Each structure stands twice: as C-alpha cells, then as structure tokens.
Amino acid sequence: SNARSNWHLYSNQTPDREELYNRVNWKQQIEHALEHNRFVLFFQPILDIRSGYISHYESLVRMVDESGKIIPPGAFIPVAEQTGLIYEIDVHIVQLAIEALHAFHEHDSDISLSVNLSARAVATSQFIDLVEKSAIDRPFERSKLLFELTETSAVEDVTAAAKEIEKFRDLGYRFAIDDFGVGFSSWYYLRELPVDYVKIDGSFVRKLSTNMEDRLFVKAINDVAQGLGKKTIAEFVEDQYSLALLSAMGVNFAQGYQIGKPQPLETTLETFAEPVKL
Ligand code: C2E
Ligand code: CA
Ligand code: CA
Ligand code: CA
C-alpha cells in the first residue's frame, strides 16, 4: 500500500525483497546505460518574464532502453541516489549539457542552460575538476551554465558545500536551489548556500490561478529571495493567468507547459528561429 511504501521512504528500515530486487535491477540498468551512452537530455524553455524572451533551458535527463523507449528520470534517479550512482550520472550529464550548450550557442549566444545536480556531488571536491576537464575539449562561457541543486538534505557538511559552490562561482558558474519550499529545500539552505537563483517548487505554482494561499507562499518566497539578491524562477506555470500573477509579483523567470514542454535537442534548436508565442 501507499502508506507502507511512504513509511519506508522515511525510515531506515531494511527494504523488503521486492524493493531490493527493483533496486538491484535498476542499478544494473543504470550501469548499462552509462556504459552504452543511453542517457539523453531533453530541454525545457525558461522565460525571462520582463523581457518576454526565452533566456534559459533546463536540461532534463531520460534513459533510452533497448527497445528505444524513453524512460523518465522519476523511474531511476531515486535508485541512483540510494545507490550512489547519482554521482556518475551527474558527471555524465554535465558532459552532455556542455555539448548541448555548444549547439545552443551556434544559434544564440545569450542562452543559458541549467543542469540538475545532486548537492552531494558538488560537495565532493573532485567534481569541479571533472567539470573543468570537460571544458578543456569544449570551451564554453561558464556563466551560461547553471546548476540546480537538488537533494540538499544529503549535504552533510553545509559549510564545505558552500565553499565548493563559492569556488565554482569564482570561475563563473551559477547556482540555484531547486524545489524550494518542499522537502528539505528550506530557509536554512537558502541562508547558508551562496546561490544566484531560487526555484520556487511547482507545487506552489501549479494552482496559483485559483489558490489564494499558494499566492501568499509564492509571494513570501519571492520577496525573501529577491531581498537576499537572488533571482527567482517559478516552475509548473500551466496557464496564462498564473503567468500574469507571477509577473505582477515580480517573479523573474517562468517555466512550465504554458511556455513549453521538454523537447529533444533537434526540436529545441528548430524553435530558436521562431518568435515566442504566449
Ligand atoms: P525537477 O528538476 O523539479 O524538474 C521539473 C519536472 O517537472 C520535469 O519532469 C518536467 O518535465 C516537469 N514539468 C515541467 N513543466 C511542468 C508543468 O508545467 N507541469 C507539470 N505537471 N510538470 C512539469 P522530469 O523531466 O520527469 O524530471 C523529474 C525530476 O527528475 C526533476 O525534477 C529532477 O529532480 C530529476 N532530474 C531530471 N533530470 C535530472 C538530471 O539530469 N540529474 C539529476 N540529478 N536529476 C534530474
Ligand atoms: Ca530542476
Ligand atoms: Ca527535483
Ligand atoms: Ca520541482
């Protein structure tokens, strides 16, 4: 039942046999996909609300299985996090993202690209070297790469993580706290981590057009984040009215189905030529 699986999520209890089997099975699939280059990135546009232009894309990973079927990250990222494979995925994805950034910049040199990164990866000091090594083969403007930190709860040493982030930022890279307001993405991390952006979790944004309480939350998060000198991004913007509300609140960026769905690279590049229709 749901209650039972939720309970497992929040306990350190030994997983049952089925869960363990699934975990081992997925672990093998992830390792296989890493070896055979079976991860691909999709790209979702992010609108600069004030200018009306697409300023960023978020890269979202998918796994392509043997039959060519596309598997969403929800199916394998949690297992990757539990087994530690997330680190290898993150490193691999940064390389794919740097390649994509090159393709983007052939069409529009101002576009930024964001990459989801488990905060644990950043906290390990080898990560910066790995990213910089990828940059040797494919030079790119570092300020155009934005890391969305997920799983901040897994950071054991927040001070050390903050130092690593600071090192990256000195080189030009940018950072966001992802999913702000839910789980463990809390005020504490906003206070302690030197990020440039705060991404307001979609659960507060999705029903903005009808839910007055969510408007209060979005406004509060936006005001504090901007007061601290950060830019704000609202995700899950699904209708025109929500976008208008966000604009009135002064939120900086919007992302969601109202603006565009995640698409493969080729499709994304085709839309570069078209004007934004909202
Ligand atoms: P996220 O970072 O919060 O990404 C947003 C998710 O919401 C994406 O699902 C996106 O397709 C979906 N979405 C976007 N706009 C809308 C909307 O208007 N309405 C609704 N209902 N949904 C929307 P996706 O691609 O399945 O990604 C799920 C999660 O997987 C991501 O959540 C992120 O936490 C994780 N993930 C994705 N790519 C990577 C990656 O490369 N590395 C790591 N570590 N995690 C990743
Ligand atoms: Ca994200
Ligand atoms: Ca997330
Ligand atoms: Ca989210």
Residue nearest to ligand 1 atom 14, measured at CA: 256
Beta bridge partners of 62: 40
Confidence (pTM): 0.90
Residue nearest to ligand 1 atom 23, measured at CA: 236
Cβ within 8 Å of residue 46, ≥6 positions away: 54, 55, 56, 57, 58, 114, 233, 253, 254, 255, 259
Which atom of ligand 1 lies at the shortest distance from residue 80's CA? 44
How high is the pLDDT of residue 277? 58
How high is the pLDDT of residue 15? 66
How high is the pLDDT of residue 7? 38
How high is the pLDDT of residue 239? 97
For each of the chain's 278 residues, which pLDDT tens digit applies?
Answer: 333 343 344 445 566 777 777 777 888 999 999 999 999 999 999 999 999 999 999 999 999 988 999 999 999 998 898 888 988 898 899 999 999 999 999 988 899 999 998 877 777 778 888 888 888 888 889 999 999 998 766 677 888 889 999 999 999 999 999 999 987 668 889 999 999 999 999 999 999 999 999 999 999 999 999 999 999 999 999 999 999 999 999 999 999 999 999 999 999 999 886 666 56
How high is the pLDDT of residue 150? 84
Which atom of ligand 1 lies at the shortest distance from residue 41's CA? 41
Tokens of 80: 């990757």
Nearest C-alpha neighbor of 253 from the set 12, 52, 2, 22: 52
**240, 180, 176, 131 alpha-carbon torsion, rounded to 10°:** -120
Query: What is the 177 CA–ligand 2 centroid distance (Å)?
Result: 9
Cβ within 8 Å of residue 277, ≥6 positions away: none
Q: Give me the interface pTM, i.e. the ipTM.
A: 0.95
Tokens of 200: 């307001």
Residue nearest to ligand 1 atom 5, measured at CA: 235
> Is the Cβ atom of 21 under 6 angstroms away from ligand 1?
no
Residue nearest to ligand 1 atom 2, measured at CA: 116
Q: Which ligand is nearest to the CA of 77?
A: 1
Query: What is the 137 CA–ligand 4 centroid distance (Å)?
Result: 32
How high is the pLDDT of residue 153? 64
